[in-house]
A and B are shown apart, each in its own frame.
Chain A
Amino acid sequence: MQKSFKLISSLFVAAMLMVSAMSFAQDLPDVPRNQTLILGWDLSAAVVGVTNPWALPGYTHQRGNAFLWEPLSYYGIFKSEEIPWLADSMEYTSDDFTSMEIKLNPMAKWSDGVPVTSKDVVFTFEGQMNNQTLPYHAAFNQYVESVEAVDDLTVNVTFKIPAPRFKFEVLTLKFDTGIPIVPAHALEAQEDVNAFPGGLDMPHSGPYNLVAWDLNQKIFDLREDWWAVEAGRIGVPEVKRIVMANIGGQQMDNIAQRIVNNEMDAALDMRSSVIKSIVEQNPMVTTHSGDQPPYGYLDWWPNALWMNTQLEPYNDQRVRRAMSLAINRELLDEIIYEGAGITTIYPFPLYPALQEFADSPAVKALEEELQPGLYDPEQSAALMEEAGFTMNRDGLWEKDGETVSAIIQGFEQIHSDIVPFLVEMLRNAGFDADVNFGADSYQNMADGVAGLYMFGHGASLIDPYAALELYHSRYSAQIGTSAGNNRFSRYANPEYDALLDEMAPLGADNPRFQELAAEALGIYWKEQIDIPIIQWLHRIPYNQTYWTNWPTADNPSLGENGAFWAHTGMLVVTNLKAAQ
């Protein structure tokens, strides 16, 4: 037996040597716990060592890279304010939104000391225009005529067509959209910018350096020479070190337990069933809404039951409407969300500006008339009969011997609480519903091979255009080709297109824009292009044992959303105050 113990210990030592021989080559300074921020996030699904924003498809801003990269501007959604960053200003220079002038902050510089200049902005923009792998290639291609560096700090952009939303949608970082500025001098040297991982040493403008990583954690240390402090954009960050710890694969249940045990200062957003217990079990943990429901803030991602309107029987408005009538939103609010009004009838999140739009008399009148949130099984059944369906012996609607294939494609991690209810509601109304949480569910949505998907509408933030534009017929691609970004309806309606085309060049404060938007929303409801179900809430637990000043309803900070993994995560982290 002694022999075997020797064997075990030597094996163990061998394994240990392999572990430590990894990327922790250099010694790191000790940073005390009260200056360290610990964030729980899934690293297992990410390329943890990739820092180059153009390394695609491996790069993501969500696993801490947002601490490295900065935009021209951020947007504070809860204050409806632009937060100028690398750019001091970014203004349209013509009334028809066809040209723009960008003025950079003269203090801005990369981590290797090289200043951030208009050359970098031009490089970033032209890269997007020429490199089709980059995610905003399509937008640049559609709108941008040319980019020109006037001097070191000034860039002029000329648009092909009026682009009133280009500044906000593309050049401003908020939530998960927008582009950061990349260092021309670092990327120019690369033969293939898409295959260059970046690594620890890539020059960047953000406040932290990635100093070490393995699959268990990523460590970011504060850079003492961050330009933004000197430039007066922000105070000296108190968080000296960020440790992003891997919770990939762990269940919500276990992650909640780790937060209650003070292992982490914050983690991913929780399902509503769990967040309440976390707050109850550890009084130091708070949320966006403190210890009160709904425990979270409104994300930009209202979830709908998308339908592929090119596919039988979802091409029939009556079937779509019948399905909507089968959904009991009140019951969902009551069972899943403890009575908090989370369900929605809108395809966009009700942020201040959008709430205003929703409350406008024109929209209110439409809502009264069309009753988009109505639950009425009898009316649903009547519509199905009208559409030529008959109830079969299993209590399911049937036409030509086929039941309605209503398998909801969804994501287990975020939909495991609500989709089972939707399935059952649809089944109770006679639709042959089931659920697919498989790894293929997203492709089924994107390719349009399935009829029904549960997914978000990340689009509109300050005006309804982006959300309504999702249903423009230019995305009504043939089934089997990718529908692209959140455009799964494949809906086509010339009348609707005309409204949207007219809206496109108009600013949101134009009254005609508001009028057209209400009309388009009316078509959306009447045609039941999809079935809006719930607002999306981020219920992020914030542990105040070591860190306070989290962005909450009472403390909106710069107005950024509270997700440390979003593009604005850097603002969340740099505004934290040490509790001890």
Chain B
Amino acid sequence: MSSVTLSNTAIRQPNKVTLFFRYLRRNPSLTFGLLIMLFLVIFTVHGLLTINTKDAYPLAVRPKMPPSFQYPLGTDFFGRDLYAAMVIGMWQTAVIGVFAGALGTIIGTIFGFISAYFGGFIDAAITSICQILIPIPAFLIQVIIAGSIDKRSVTILTMAWVVLLLAWMGPTLVIRAQVLSMKERQFVSVAKLSGMTSLGIIFKEILPNLLPFIAAAFIAQVFQAVFASFYLAIVGLGPVREPLLGNTIWSAQTQGAFFNGWWWWPIGPAVAMILILGSLALINMGMDEMANPRIRRSE
């Protein structure tokens, strides 16, 4: 008897961490994206611990210095240490992206669930609002909103709110569709028979299965939010003094950095922007595979 149990344990699946790594090996885009993201996180965290925040603002260091040992990414026209500016900028970009992305996803998930689970009038109302709002280009509305806010109080967080306002419809529709299909699955009926309440079913039975979709929606939202914050910075609607990546790239452009041969000024934040957005795109593609079992099968 005991030997049987033993052999059963032996064929049991390896633990989740090992499984995760095995899965990563089969999903190179996810792996690659996560690696870049990990690198960016380490870079930012390490930077935040070592830099002097003041160096990210003008008049801190000698201006217009090419990269050197002392200033690994050089300094700009305004006398900012570009390394410090990039660390702070990535942190602020991350704050906007994650804040707007997370809230957008959470709101979308809640609306999606409400819509799908209760159906009827509520469902019709939520879905038609989403469908009506979706063709309206979010950026344009963001521009109007950002332009109407008193800019004296624009901070990183206000910017995140502006980005958030139109970031919930996508997740709402995705989650709604998924919940609708989940709701018809038999394990929901079984859970009902097992005495679970509606809330219990939503949170314990349906939600866990939607995690890949929610994660994918989240990544997509973060991507959109980072992009939107970049564009808003470019049309001059962001917090100008802050070294947001978009602001730094744009100020390099307005001071003619390329033309004047200060190539190191825009390169750092541009590469950071590309890495952030690129890794999000890769992770998104990887998530797609995770959420779509048919793609997974073919790997």
Taking the complex as a whole, does A directly touch B, i.e. does some CB pair lie under 8 Å apart? yes
Residues of A that sit less than 8 Å from B by CB: 251-253, 256-257, 271, 273-274, 277-278, 331, 335, 405, 407, 412-413, 416-417, 420-421, 423-425, 427-428, 434-441, 444, 450
What's the minimum C-beta distance from A499 to chain B, rounded to whole angstroms?
35
List chain A residues, Cβ under 8 A from B251.
416, 420
B259 at the interface (CB under 8 A from A): yes
List chain B residues, Cβ under 8 A from A251.
253-254, 256
Pick the contact of B77 from A273, A427, A437 — CB < 8 Å?
A273
What's the minimum C-beta distance from B261 to chain A, rounded to whole angstroms?
7
Is A420 touching B241 in the complex (CB atoms < 8 A)?
A: yes
B22 at the interface (CB under 8 A from A): no
Is B58 touching A436 in the complex (CB atoms < 8 A)?
A: no
What's the minimum C-beta distance from B85 to chain A, rounded to whole angstroms?
12
Q: Which residue of chain B has the shortest Cβ distance to A275 in the bound complex? A: B256
Is A437 touching B152 in the complex (CB atoms < 8 A)?
A: no
Total interface residues in chain B, CB < 8 Å: 27
B237 at the interface (CB under 8 A from A): yes
What's the minimum C-beta distance from B228 to chain A, rounded to whole angstroms?
17
B250-275, CB under 8 A of A: which get 1 and which 0?
01011111111100000000000000
What's the minimum C-beta distance from B251 to chain A, rounded to whole angstroms?
7
Report the bound CA distance from A215 to B196 in whole Å.
66
Pick the contact of A274 from B57, B59, B79, B260 — CB < 8 Å?
B260
CB within 8 Å for A438 and B147 given contacts A416-B254, A450-B152: yes
List chain A residues, Cβ under 8 A from B78.
420-421, 424
Report the bound CA distance from A565 to B144 in whole Å.
31
With contacts A252-B253, A424-B58, A438-B237 known, what are 18 further pairs, Cβ within 8 A?
Answer: A251-B253, A251-B254, A252-B254, A253-B255, A253-B259, A271-B255, A271-B256, A273-B256, A277-B256, A417-B255, A420-B78, A420-B241, A424-B57, A434-B152, A434-B239, A435-B240, A440-B150, A444-B152
Of listed A273, A331, A421, residue having the most chain B CB within 10 A: A273
B140-167, CB under 8 A of A: which get 1 and which 0?
0000000100111010000000000000
Of listed A274, A407, A420, A424, residue having the most chain B CB within 10 A: A420
Is A253 touching B152 in the complex (CB atoms < 8 A)?
A: no
What's the minimum C-beta distance from B288 to chain A, rounded to whole angstroms?
26
What's the minimum C-beta distance from B241 to chain A, rounded to whole angstroms?
5
List chain B residues, Cβ under 8 A from A407.
152
What's the minimum C-beta distance from A451 to chain B, rounded to whole angstroms?
10
What's the minimum C-beta distance from B198 to chain A, rounded to whole angstroms?
48
Report the bound CA distance from A412 to B250 in whole Å.
11
Q: What secondary structure prevails in chain A residues at the interface with B?
A: helix
B63 at the interface (CB under 8 A from A): yes
List chain A residues, Cβ under 8 A from B47.
none
What's the minimum C-beta distance from B189 to chain A, rounded to whole angstroms?
48
List chain B residues, Cβ under 8 A from A440.
147, 150-151
Is A439 touching B256 in the complex (CB atoms < 8 A)?
A: no
List chain B residues, Cβ under 8 A from A405.
152
B67 at the interface (CB under 8 A from A): no
CB within 8 Å for A274 and B256 given contacts A421-B58, A425-B59: yes
CB within 8 Å for A423 and B79 given contacts A251-B253, A438-B236: no
Q: Which 6 A-B pairs have the closest CB atoms?
A: A438-B151, A274-B256, A253-B256, A424-B58, A424-B59, A436-B151
What's the minimum C-beta distance from B278 to chain A, rounded to whole angstroms?
24
List chain B residues, Cβ under 8 A from A421.
58-59, 78
Report the bound CA distance from A423 to B154 in whole Å.
16
21 A-B contacts, Cβ less than 8 Å apart? Answer: A251-B253, A252-B254, A253-B257, A256-B256, A271-B256, A274-B255, A412-B240, A412-B254, A420-B78, A420-B241, A420-B251, A421-B78, A423-B58, A425-B59, A434-B152, A435-B241, A437-B240, A438-B236, A439-B147, A439-B236, A440-B151
CB within 8 Å for A434 and B261 given contacts A251-B254, A428-B59, A439-B147: no
Q: What secondary structure prevails in chain B residues at the interface with A?
A: loop
Is B151 touching A273 in the complex (CB atoms < 8 A)?
A: no
List chain B residues, Cβ under 8 A from A425.
59
Is B152 touching A436 in the complex (CB atoms < 8 A)?
A: yes
List chain A residues, Cβ under 8 A from B57.
424, 427
Report the bound CA distance from A436 to B152 in whole Å.
7
What's the minimum C-beta distance from B253 to chain A, rounded to whole angstroms?
5
Q: Which residue of chain B has the shortest Cβ distance to A417 in the bound complex? A: B255
What's the minimum C-beta distance from A250 to chain B, rounded to whole angstroms?
10
Report the bound CA distance from A440 to B236 in whole Å.
11
Is A253 touching B253 in the complex (CB atoms < 8 A)?
A: yes
CB within 8 Å for A434 and B254 given contacts A424-B57, A450-B152: no
List chain B residues, Cβ under 8 A from A435.
240-241
List chain A residues, Cβ under 8 A from B151.
436, 438, 440-441
List chain B residues, Cβ under 8 A from A424.
57-59, 78
Of listed B63, B240, B257, residue having the most chain A CB within 10 A: B240
B51-91, CB under 8 A of A: which get 1 and which 0?
00000011100010000000000000111000000000000
Is A277 touching B152 in the complex (CB atoms < 8 A)?
A: no
Is A252 touching B152 in the complex (CB atoms < 8 A)?
A: no
CB within 8 Å for A273 and B152 given contacts A423-B58, A424-B59: no
What's the minimum C-beta distance from A438 to chain B, rounded to whole angstroms?
4
CB within 8 Å for A420 and B58 given contacts A251-B253, A273-B77, A335-B79: yes
Q: Which residue of chain B has the shortest Cβ distance to A421 in the bound complex? A: B58
Q: Which residue of chain B has the shortest Cβ distance to A331 in the bound complex? A: B59
List chain A residues, Cβ under 8 A from B258.
253
Report the bound CA distance from A335 to B62 in whole Å.
9
Q: Which residue of chain A has the shortest Cβ distance to B239 in the bound complex? A: A434
What's the minimum C-beta distance from B230 to chain A, rounded to whole angstroms?
15
Report the bound CA distance from A417 to B57 in whole Å.
14
Q: Which residue of chain B has the shortest Cβ distance to A411 in the bound complex? A: B236
Report the bound CA distance from A407 to B150 in whole Å.
12
List chain B residues, Cβ under 8 A from A252.
253-256
Report the bound CA distance from A256 to B254 in whole Å.
11
Q: Which residue of chain A has the shortest Cβ distance to B252 in the bound complex? A: A253
Is A416 touching B152 in the complex (CB atoms < 8 A)?
A: no
